[in-house]
Amino acid sequence: MKNLETSAIKTWCPGCGNFGIINALSEAILETEEKIGRENFVLVTGIGCHGKIADYLNITSLYALHGRGIAVATGIKIANPKLKVIVCVGDGDAYDEGMEHLIHAAKRDIPITVLVHNNRVFALTTGQATATSPVGFKGKSTPEGSKERPINPLKLMWAAGAGFIARGYAGKPDHLTFLIKKAIFYPGFAFVDILQPCVAFFNTYEFYNQKTYVLPKTPQDKEVLEKIEEWNYEDGEGKIPLGIFYER
Amino acid sequence: MEEFSILIGGEAGQGSRKAGLLLGKILLEWGWQVFIYDDYQSLVRGGHNFSLIRASQKKSLAVDFSLDLLLALDKKTVELHRQKLKEKGILVYSTSKISDVREGLGLPLEKWVKEAGGVSLMENVALVGAAAKILGISWEVVEKVIKEEFGKETEEKNLKVAYLAFGSCKTLLKIPKLKAGRQILLTGNEAISLGLIKAGMNTYFAYPMTPTSGILHFLAEKQKEAGLKVYQLESEIGVVNAALGAGFAGSRAAVGTSGGGFALTTEGLSFAAQAEIPLLIVEGQRTAPATGVPTYTAQSDLFFTLYAGHGDFLRFLIAPGDAQEAAFWAGEALNLAWEYQTPAILLVDKQICESTFTVEEAIFSKIKSRKLVLANNDGEYLRYKNTSSGISPLAFPGEKGKVVKVNGYEHDERGLTVEDAEQVKKMQEKRLRKFQKMKEVVEKLPAVNIGGKKNSQTALVVWGSVKGVGLEVAERRGLKLIQPVVFQPFPEKQMKKALEGVKKVIVAENNALGQLAEILPKYGVKVNSKILKYDGRPFWLKELDEKLGNIGN
């Protein structure tokens, strides 16, 4: 993995879920670069803790504005369809400020790979609720607990017509590598929501370690929504399925 | 006859604009210089639309309501405009829509359309055929223009309709045939599109918004032939960011919008400056604030486009004065954006975008490509190499052996994020050196136009679309006309030269705050008086002339 690193010093908290994601993404790039060509990878990031991955990976990258990674990636892919465009965005980035771009990229079926580092909290701004924070989430802007229900991003992507919908977990990097590789080779718009514990502001390791399980196989079309709704990003519900929910 | 004016009007949906364009093209073929002002409302059916055509022997870029011919498809046109006819002016109207008008020439347009087996919309073409005969233009010219303007399916019926109308009328106002040059009729939007294509634009992104939607439509139609990619995206925010992505990937990208859409574009503008991505933005002003009066004109975004975007940076801000200038500067601005790896804004308005102008074809060959600073293969590629000019060599994704890191955070030469004081200062100074180069190049371009009586001590200073009317009035009154075209970096030397010998400065502009008059003192220009118009309409010739008369020479 050494040869994908830059000289930048990683400033993520020890134990941050982003380490699992950068390892899985690096592995996926190294395992696929023979076919794709290192120079053809383009990493686009938004703003948030996740975005620092642009500084840490020694591949061509564009460190975009908050919420705009997917829009930038759309332009890159339109301009040069030969490039393999991977977009790392945060939940604040994709489900709050930049949601219009996510929905339209899925609708447009623009062939990019979207990896959402979903820690369900604004971490770099020191802990406020995002669109996927659960009801009752106590952040700096919601000291009484959030009263809003979270968005289920997989359901949103299903409604928007995404052709590839998956969920991974930063605590299961091998499975995540598998998902990212699948997404990279998917010929259309590919979406992977990645559950990412934030040790500083929303430590969900134990919760996810207990609740997540890997889907034995991709559900039949008529079962997709049911599987997507098995967990609605709330606390205290049943199990959390991981894997590919839908592949058109 | 030196010049004449024709107004053709009707409800939205009756095709008065198309009729105006057909008549304009016929007059151009007949050797006349043509300018068409289109007035329409933000609705699809009903209301009142009109095209005002000024045909002249000498180029003109402005209109007046002193009509030689009034062509009415509906009654409202007669009611609203009959008093603008000159003493010997002629009113021509459709008898199917208007029965109680006593003056003028009533024509059975509906009957001719039926005889030709056409649909009622074709009354507009019947009126054009009739007008051509009234003006004494030969049938061959009418035939040629109709064949050019209509597709195979409707060409035959339209020709038939026009022929019946043409054959049923008499020549009442004969205009001579003149010798035509190599000229074409273009709207500002079409001229901008062609200028961008000439400068090698590869991608165009937009969200529909008057008055620049015409660029989107024209380019979408042309994309295959011109090898372009044209996309309508989810919002102006999506548009500007996609254009940034395209520019990063090495594709010459442009976007088009109006003030409201430009408001959403501004975070991307700031990003383009910081990340040093070439980007061209066309901003077509309309009557604002907010939704304003969407299909009418204004020049009220000069402050906005000058200062938009957070942070310390310069952009090229260029405001051409007519379609011909817009064609040239659209191409030049795209080339400048690429040479200096920076955003450029082409500031136009509804009056330029949607009016129709006589454009000399030769203008497009004046758009010359500029040399790009490209990276070689020596050592590690540094996207933000700290050069003496401040311009860092370009490389694009997909180039073997090069890692291209572009960053909206402050960054080091490689493009990695930095926060330490020394590097932050160093990179800002790299960009400052580039801004200095931008200032130098502006002084080498025709950044300030001068016209009228060049040794007059009184100068009429105008910008953008007021150039047309300003030039004509300045010539008439013996004033010097000064038209700054580039606003950032401001061509201080050229402006100073233009003002040599001038003792009195009168500024005329289409806004309420006097935005040009407000910024000129910053460059040492004393403004003596202002003439402002802010009702959504351009200055009419007589109106500006009279207002200048009140101020005196």
CATH code at A167? Answer: 3.40.50.970
CB of A164 within 8 A of CB of A113? no
For residue A78, give the nearest of B231, B268, B417 by CB distance. Answer: B231
Average model confidence (pLDDT) for chain B? 96
pLDDT < 70 stretches in chain A: 1-2
Tell me what pLDDT residue B280 has.
98
Question: Please, what's the largest Cα pairwise distance for chain B?
Answer: 85
The token pair that represents B171 in the structure block: 């020549």
CB of B480 within 8 A of CB of B436? no
Other Cβ atoms less than 10 A from the Cβ of A209: the count is: 12
Which pLDDT band holds residue B419 (cuts at 50, 70, 90)? very high
Residue B21 main-chain phi, psi, to 5 deg:
-65, -40
A57, A60, A74, A104, best to mutate vs chain B, most B CBs in 10 Å: A60
Amino acid residing at B217: H
Asked if the model's pLDDT at residue B381 lies above 80, the reply is yes
Residues in chain B: 553
CB of B72 within 8 A of CB of B78? yes
For residue B400, give the nearest of A39, A55, A65 by CB distance. Answer: A39
Asked if the model's pLDDT at residue B124 lies above 60, the reply is yes
In A, minimum Cα distance to B205 occurs at A75
Q: Which of B502, B80, B41, B17 is nearest to B286 (CA)?
A: B41
Amino acid residing at B79: E
Asked if the model's pLDDT at residue B552 lies above 70, the reply is no
Amino acid residing at B419: E
Number of H helices, E strands in chain B: 18, 21
The token pair that represents A6 in the structure block: 């830059």
Domain that holds residue A214: 2-247
Q: Which of B449, B461, B446, B438 is nearest to B515 (CA)?
A: B461
A203 touches chain B (CB under 8 A): no
In A, minimum Cα distance to B404 occurs at A60
Q: Does the model's pTM come out above 0.90?
A: yes
Distance, in Å, from the CA atom of B3 to the CA atom of B52, rounded to the nearest integer, reads: 13
Domains and CATH numbers, chain B: 3-168 (3.40.920.10), 185-366 (3.40.50.970), 448-551 (3.40.50.920)
Amino acid residing at B552: G
Whether residues A100 and B401 touch (CB distance < 8 A) is answered with no
Collect all residues with Cβ–Cβ distance below 8 Å to B284 and sequence separation of at least 6: B189, B210, B211, B212, B256, B257, B258, B348, B349, B350, B352, B353
CA separation, residue A186 to residues A183, A223, B173, B509 (Å):
5, 21, 69, 55
Q: What is the ipTM of this complex?
A: 0.97
The token pair that represents B238 in the structure block: 């999506």
Tell me what pLDDT residue B553 has.
53
Tell me what pLDDT residue A1 has.
41
Distance, in Å, from the CA atom of B325 to the CA atom of B328, rounded to the nearest integer, reads: 5
CB of B513 within 8 A of CB of B534? no
Other Cβ atoms less than 10 A from the Cβ of A80: the count is: 21
pLDDT digits (tens, 9 = 90+) for B83-105: 999 999 999 999 988 888 888 99
B80 touches chain A (CB under 8 A): no
In A, minimum Cα distance to B271 occurs at A65
Whether residues B397 and A68 touch (CB distance < 8 A) is answered with no
DSSP string, chain A: -GGGB-SPPP-SPTT-HHHHHHHHHHHHHHHHHHHH-GGGEEEEE-SSGGGGHHHHB-S-EEE--TT-HHHHHHHHHHH-TTSEEEEEEEHIIIIIITHHHHHHHHHHT---EEEEEE-SSBTTTTSB--TTPPTT--BTTBTT---SPPP-HHHHHHHHT-SEEEEEETT-HHHHHHHHHHHHH-SS-EEEEEE--BTTTB--HHHHHHHEEE-SSPPPGGGHHHHHTT--S-SS-S-EEEEEEEE-
Cβ-Cβ contacts under 8 Å between A and B: the total is 136
| Mean pLDDT on B185-197 | 98
A5 touches chain B (CB under 8 A): no
Whether residues B241 and A44 touch (CB distance < 8 A) is answered with no
- Give how far A103 is from chain B: nearest CA, Å: 9
Other Cβ atoms less than 10 A from the Cβ of A10: the count is: 16
For residue A40, give the nearest of B234, B398, B416 by CB distance. Answer: B398
What is the C-alpha R_g of chain B?
A: 25
pLDDT digits (tens, 9 = 90+) for B129-140: 999 999 999 999
Tell me what pLDDT residue A3 has.
79
Distance, in Å, from the CA atom of B256 to the CA atom of B209, rounded to the nearest integer, reads: 8
pLDDT cut 90: percent of chain B above it? 94
Tell me what pLDDT residue B46 has.
87
Distance, in Å, from the CA atom of B388 to the CA atom of B547, rounded to the nearest integer, reads: 51
pLDDT digits (tens, 9 = 90+) for B420-448: 999 999 999 999 999 999 999 999 999 99
Whether residues B250 and A79 touch (CB distance < 8 A) is answered with yes
Distance, in Å, from the CA atom of B150 to the CA atom of B145, rounded to the nearest integer, reads: 9
Strand A212-214 relative to strand A240-247, pairing: parallel
Strand stretches in B191-278, DSSP E? 203-206, 229-232, 253-257
Which pLDDT band holds residue B402 (cuts at 50, 70, 90)? very high
Domain count, chain A: 1
